[in-house]
Structure 1
Amino acid sequence: MEREGNRPVPRGAVVEVAGNGEGELVPVRLGVWLSNTRARRNKLHRRTTRRPAGTGH
């Protein structure tokens, strides 16, 4: 939310986040993750629906 505020995330959105602590950036398909999470919200375990670390969302 820091980067985009409270705006909708397009399904094709890809963000780069810090990888395995090696300073390397890893692409994350944030739009797809959000879309799938919303569609399966009632089927997913609560722990699974946490937002990915480092995405700012």
Structure 2
Amino acid sequence: MVVALIVLVTIVVFILVDYALRVLLKRAREERTRREREEALDIGLKLDVSEEADTLKR
């Protein structure tokens, strides 16, 4: 009886730890992706179209 209880508690603890790790890793991944996107938007694109046509030069 005691062995079955230990096995059951071990399985429940494993499931809880697995779920907690999945949630934490997902949040970290989303935060990293959001930060990378913000950095990409902050850099911006500097387009030089002056070579396309003479009338576009300033």
TM-score (structure 1 length as normaliser): 0.26
Report which of the two has the higher share of strand: 1
The two structures have a TM-score, normalised by structure 2, of 0.25
Question: More relative contact order in 1 or in 2 (CA 8 Å, sep 6+)?
Answer: 1
More helix by share: 2
Larger gyration radius, structure 1 or structure 2: 2
